[in-house]
Amino acid sequence: MKVFLTKFHYQKKINLISVVLFILLCLPTLFYFIIICIRNFLYDINVIKSYKGKKSFIVSVGNITTGGTGKTPFVIKLANYFLDTKNEKTAVILRGYGGKLNNKNVNIVKNNGNIFFNANICGDEAFLIAKNTPNNCIVLTSKNRVNGINYAINVLGCKNIILDDCFQHRKVSPDLNLVLIDSKKLFGNGFVLPFGPLREAKFSIKKRASKIILVNKENDDYINTNNLINKLNKQYKKPVYECKMNFSKIYLLEDKEQLHDLKNIKNVYAFSAIASPKQFYKILKKYNLMGTKTYPDHYIYTQSDIDYMNKKAKLYNASILITTEKDAVKLDGFKSDLKIAILKMEPDFDIKDVVGY
């Protein structure tokens, strides 16, 4: 159902299904829109107070639509930049979707270079961030970001806080509020949930965003991207930066130091459990993509899933299984007849201009 709604939210043509769903979902959509607007209005006039950090620099990385926009690799690059340039304790705080920890508490996923949980326990995104940041980066999960911030500052002595997926979390007023927008999907059909993909109305970008990050996963030509940047800049009166997602390396699951020339990878069977797998599969077409298997976002794999994909891959004459880094962190300990490769995604953007120093 989730996969169907995602496709529906971003389809460009109106059909009979669209009309039927609009009739069924118009009232829930209107109700959701009114509730979100009232909530935001109460925050805007300070009837409901937002937390403002006084002892730290807080950056929020979020989006305005459902589905993936590349937040996790973006957050990883930000964390590495803060630690390299400021040499101050930095914490990444996220909710921990897909994990089994009680996110009503503040959970320490990583501290002093030690990662205390696997991906199935703390969540794939939290583990991926912990794994790809320096030893002095702290990773916390908590539903209550204010509690997480206070713990990071007062107990762990952090000077910089990066909040993952926090644009709608109005309890916190960050120093830098970054909104990521997918250059292909943009705002889908333009409606809020459940009829559309918007978590809140688009005018929230103009009110609260510090800067807009246009995420270009397919590296479209310069002219089209530049036109879109100018359009968003005029519409929302905010600085707009392009972030290219480069699929740069392929490595094997069992040998993480071994990098492979992309030209040597052929006849692949791809699988993923991410919010927006379309771009991932599209990239793999040039490696002779034989078949795909898509699971729900944050899905926890089992040995039977690996066995199933091996069987399917062999049926399609594929020579190797391939997946994303977010999926790979949940595959340790499984046996596979075919080798499992990971496609690495790296964000490329002007980080100094985005951060401001």
Question: Per DSSP, which regions of 80-201 are E strands?
Answer: 90-94, 107-111, 114-115, 137-141, 160-164, 176-182
Average pLDDT over residues 244-260: 75
Question: Does residue 351 have a pLDDT over 60?
Answer: yes
Give 257's pLDDT tier (boundaries 50, 70, 90): low
| CATH code 3.40.50 region(s) in the chain | 57-238, 246-347
CATH class of 57-238: alpha beta
Q: What is the mean pLDDT of the chain?
A: 92
Q: How confident is the model at residue 12 (pLDDT cuts 50, 70, 90)?
A: confident
More confident residue, 308 or 263: 308
Domain 246-347, CATH number (from 3.30.70, 1.10.10, 3.40.50, 3.40.1710): 3.40.50
Given this model, what pLDDT does residue 87 score? 86
| Residue 278 binned pLDDT confidence (cut-offs 50, 70, 90) | confident
Q: Is the per-residue pLDDT at 16 higher than 60?
A: yes
Q: Which distant-in-sequence residues (6+ apart) come within 8 Å of 149 by Cβ?
A: 51, 53, 56, 58, 93, 161, 163, 172
pLDDT tens digits for 70-88? Answer: 999 999 999 999 999 988 9
Query: Quick check: 154 pLDDT over 60?
Result: yes
Q: What is the percent of the chain with per-residue pLDDT over 90, rounded to a whole number?
A: 78
Least confident of 31-35, 53-57, 150-154, 236-240: 53-57
- Position 13 pLDDT exceeds 90: no
Q: Which of 135, 61, 117, 50 is nearest to 93 (CA)?
A: 61
Quote the pTM value.
Answer: 0.94
Render pLDDT for 194-234 as a digit per residue (tens, 0 to 9): 999 999 999 999 999 999 999 998 777 767 899 999 999 99
Cα–Cα distance, 109 to 91 (Å, whole number): 11
Helix, strand, coil content of the chain in percent (nearest 5)? 35, 25, 40
Distances 292 to 234, 245, 282 between C-alpha atoms, Å: 40, 21, 11
pLDDT score recorded for residue 60: 98
pLDDT at res. 1 = 63
- The answer, yes or no, to whether residue 235 has pLDDT greater than 70, is yes
Mean pLDDT of 44-58: 93
Radius of gyration of the chain (CA): 21
